[in-house]
């Protein structure tokens, strides 16, 4: 880790997330009004939505994080949606805070518990630290590159999978090329048990860490959706790689990305995929 990211700063980020959850997220949960929700269509996702809470969390958290590391930049999902040029900050040596203010906004606005608040710290184009808060469960996962993953002060290791058990996982095929989706579908029910998608990367990655699911395959990759969870899973003993086995970077926009509870399972799933996708 860079010298400027002290243990005090790691703990301070955790405190900031706990504060924003208590002051902005939970009071609004199941209390949103119709005018608190807006459609946020894009070419990739014409059905996307955003809430006033997404914006208030990002607006409060961004400056607080930037003050921890003077000179650091902030790339929040909502700000980057309005100005994609902000993503250029990730292609520099300096520190960049990446924020997903509400991951799983559709679940949040429906009053369902499957959402989280996610933060990653990128320096020199690599994810150095990550946080995922699950507000409805009162949980906060924290990871530091090379130092492990922690939950409520206790070290997290992904539980071992029973060798004879059929792996259970989710394949997000909505944005995948047809050939890729078909390749995965050919193994469903035979080589793995399909599991419903959570509709939130915060839930998918933390479910992997808790042994609730064995793998997830994604195609569309945005830094706020995947950088936090990828580091958390890797530091907990799991595997998160692109189809060629490379580590996820802040610049990857398309997969396949295979997140698995261990390296052997990740390699097995990657072997199902076409060599060129």
Residue 163 falls within a domain, yes or no? Answer: no
% of the chain beyond a pLDDT of 70: 93
Phi-psi region of 197 (alpha: psi -120 to 50; beta: other; left: phi over 0): beta
Residue 41 is part of which domain span? 7-156
Assess whether 39 and 130 both reside in one domain: yes
Assess whether 12 and 147 both reside in one domain: yes
Assess whether 255 and 210 both reside in one domain: yes
pLDDT recorded at residue 2: 40
CATH assignment of the domain containing 121: 3.30.540.10
Assess whether 176 and 132 both reside in one domain: no
Tokens of 154: 């206790």
Spell out the residues 6+ positions from residue 79 whose beta carbon is closer than 8 angstroms to its own. 58, 62, 86
Assess whether 141 and 193 both reside in one domain: no
pLDDT tens for 18-49 read 999 999 999 999 999 999 999 887 666 767 89
Assess whether 227 and 198 both reside in one domain: yes
Assess whether 140 and 246 both reside in one domain: no
Cβ atoms of residues 99 and 65 within 8 Å: yes
DSSP state of 163: T
pLDDT recorded at residue 165: 76
- For β-strands 116-123 and 96-103, DSSP reports them as antiparallel
Number of compact structural domains in the chain: 2
Assess whether 115 and 212 both reside in one domain: no
CATH assignment of the domain containing 212: 3.40.190.80
- Write down the residue that tokens 């995948």 correspond to: 176
pLDDT recorded at residue 43: 62
Assess whether 137 and 178 both reside in one domain: no
Q: Residue 1 pLDDT > 50, yes or no? A: no
Q: Residue 9 pLDDT > 90, yes or no? A: no
Report the pLDDT averaged over residues 67-94. 94
Residue 276 falls within a domain, yes or no? Answer: no
pLDDT tens for 122-133 read 999 999 999 999
Residue 161 falls within a domain, yes or no? Answer: no
């Amino acid at each position: 880790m860079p010298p400027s990211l002290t243990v005090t700063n790691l703990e301070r980020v955790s405190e900031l997330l706990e504060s924003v959850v208590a002051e902005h997220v939970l009071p609004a949960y199941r209390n949103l009004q119709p005018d608190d929700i807006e459609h946020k269509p894009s070419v990739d996702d014409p059905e996307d939505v955003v809430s006033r809470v997404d914006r208030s969390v990002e607006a409060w958290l961004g400056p607080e994080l930037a003050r921890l590391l003077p000179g650091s930049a902030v790339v929040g999902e909502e700000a980057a949606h309005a100005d994609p040029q902000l993503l250029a900050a990730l292609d520099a040596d300096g520190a960049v805070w990446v924020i997903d203010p509400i991951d799983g906004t559709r679940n949040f606005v429906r009053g369902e518990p499957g959402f989280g608040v996610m933060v990653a710290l990128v320096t020199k184009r690599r994810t150095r630290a990550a946080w995922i808060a699950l507000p409805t469960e009162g949980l906060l996962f924290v990871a530091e590159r090379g130092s492990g993953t922690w939950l409520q002060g206790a070290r997290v290791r992904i539980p071992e999978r029973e060798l004879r058990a059929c792996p259970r996982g989710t394949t997000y095929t909505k944005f995948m090329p047809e050939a890729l989706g078909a390749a995965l579908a050919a193994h469903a029910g035979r080589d793995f048990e399909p599991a419903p998608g959570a509709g939130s990367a915060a839930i998918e990655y933390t479910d992997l860490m808790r042994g609730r699911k064995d793998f997830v395959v994604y195609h569309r990759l945005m830094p706020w959706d995947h950088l936090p969870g990828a580091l958390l899973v890797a530091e907990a003993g799991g595997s998160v790689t692109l189809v060629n086995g490379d580590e996820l970077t802040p610049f990857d926009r398309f997969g396949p990305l295979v997140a698995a509870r261990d390296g052997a399972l990740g390699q097995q799933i990657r072997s199902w995929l076409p060599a060129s996708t």
